[in-house]
Amino acid sequence: MSKKILITGGAGFVGRRLVKVMLDKKYNVVVVDNITPLTGGIDPEKNWPLYSPKDYQNFTFYKKDCRKWFEENPHEKFDYVFHLAAMVGGREIIENNPLIVAEDLSIDSHFWQWCANSNPKKVICFSSSACYPIDLQRQESHRLLKEEDISFENYIGIPDLTYGWAKLTCEYLARIAHKKNGINSICYRPFSGYGEDQDLSYPFPSICKRVLNNKGNNIINVWGSGKQLRDFIYIDDCINGVIKTMDKINDGSAINLSTGELTSFIDFTAQACAILGFNPEIRGIESKPEGVFARGGDTEKQQKFGFKYNTKLIDGIKKTINYLSNNS
């Protein structure tokens, strides 16, 4: 019998890739997404950038707030539930409207209460690397972040932005749901995921687009100092990591999705420029948000469970630039 899959927030950047994998496995996929502006969600009626889910008979879409859907379907049974629904966006969006994550807390509250009623066989919850303590990401003290750097029993530190607090709370609820309700789950902490059809409010596609638009210029600007370091991981590697490891943990604990390699925004931009054959001066815009100095994820736990990323950063940049140049 074909597995039944629920994906909340499935019309967003990560969700669209995940939906494709599940549809190709012949699973019956239900997506619930209200296509909120600035979250990167795209209505399937308009077709998705890389494929059309409407071409699959095993695809069902509900354009509505997942909280409302939970109320209307309190006992719907699923084999796997992937929880991605959230009010997300680039750092500037979150910094300008920090209280928007109150919606995330509401969504997660409804979600876990629905899980307690419907009892899905497995919950896969997408958290964030923003959960990690910011004191481990400063210029003078940064290192690769390990899953055990967050301990709900001992020390959680101060996460990054209100978004980090919201995601950390979701992880805590996953632990409680397992202990009190026997719900099997795993949480993922993706680092700086990127891919061809990511919303331009995010740094990776934004920089690639800026490089394309300013090809041949003597100066390219990046946000912040440009020296800030990130662990860029290609979206298909993220999804592959989930598929390979999602049955390895049941108690709600977390696992990174990362490469373990740090790249500055200046170096990333320089690689993009080199692909297009020019070598400008790359300058930071200090008045723009920079975030923490360095955020990279340790990969030991991922590799223990059989996952290692495949896509080199230079190849990911080429894919993104090629897509943007053909779809501008």
- Reported as a pLDDT band with limits 50, 70 and 90, residue 39 is confident
- Give the pLDDT band of residue 256 (cuts 50, 70, 90): very high
Output the CA–CA distances (angstroms, integers) from residue 284 to 80, 137, 246, 266, 290, in the order listed.
44, 20, 39, 8, 10
Q: What is the pLDDT of residues 61-71, one digit of tens each?
A: 999 999 999 99
29 vs 95, higher pLDDT: 29
Per-residue confidence at 18, pLDDT binned at 50, 70, 90? very high
At 309 the pLDDT is 98
Query: Residue 300 and residue 297: Cα distance in Å, rounded?
Result: 9
User: Is residue 54 pLDDT above 90, yes or no?
Assistant: yes
pLDDT given for residue 289 in this prediction: 84
What mean pLDDT is predicted for residues 17-29? Answer: 98
pLDDT score of 64: 96
Question: Residue 110 pLDDT > 90, yes or no?
Answer: yes
Look at residue 76 and tell me whether its pLDDT is greater than 90.
Answer: yes
Give the mean pLDDT of the chain. Answer: 95
Name the superfamily (CATH) of residues 4-193+232-259+296-310: NAD(P)-binding Rossmann-like Domain (3.40.50.720)
Q: Report whether pLDDT(56) > 90.
A: yes
Output the pLDDT for position 75: 96
With 90 as the cut, is the pLDDT of residue 177 above it? yes
Cβ 251 vs Cβ 296: under 8 Å: no
pLDDT band, very low/low/confident/very high, at 162 (cuts 50, 70, 90): confident
Percent of the chain residues topping a pLDDT of 70 = 97
* Distances 18 to 167, 175, 182 between C-alpha atoms, Å: 20, 24, 25
Identify the band that residue 19 occupies on the pLDDT scale cut at 50, 70 and 90: very high
> Residue 191 — φ and ψ, nearest 5°?
-90, -135
Least confident of 122-131, 223-232, 286-295: 286-295
Mean pLDDT of 253-282: 98
* 3-class SS letters over the chain: CCCEEEEECCCCHHHHHHHHHHHHCCCEEEEECCCCCCCCCCCHHHCCCCCCHHHCCCEEEECCCHHHHHHHCCCCCCCEEEECCCCCCCHHHHHHCHHHHHHHHHHHHHHHHHHHHHCCCEEEEECCHHHCCHHHCCCCCCCCECHHHCECCCECCCCCHHHHHHHHHHHHHHHHHHHHHCCCEEEEEECEEECCCCCCCCHHHHHHHHHHHCCCCCEEEEEECCCCEECEEEHHHHHHHHHHHCCCCCEEEEEEECCCCCEEHHHHHHHHHHHCCCCCEEEEECCCCCCCCEECECCHHHHHCCCCCCCCHHHHHHHHHHHHHHCC
Chain segment 179-199, per-residue pLDDT in tens: 999 999 999 999 999 999 999
For 196, residues 6+ apart whose C-beta sits below 8 A from its C-beta are 49, 50, 319, 320, 322, 323, 324
pTM for the model stands at: 0.96
Superfamily of domain 195-229+262-294+317-326: UDP-galactose 4-epimerase, domain 1 (3.90.25.10)
What residues does each domain of the chain span?
Answer: 4-193+232-259+296-310, 195-229+262-294+317-326
**Which residue, 232, 193, 243, is CA-closest to 82?**
243
Average pLDDT value for residue range 46-61: 96
Q: What pLDDT is attached to residue 246?
A: 98
Q: Does pLDDT of 328 surpass 80?
A: no
How big is the chain by its Cα radius of gyration, in Å? 19
Whether the pLDDT of residue 99 is over 80: the answer is no
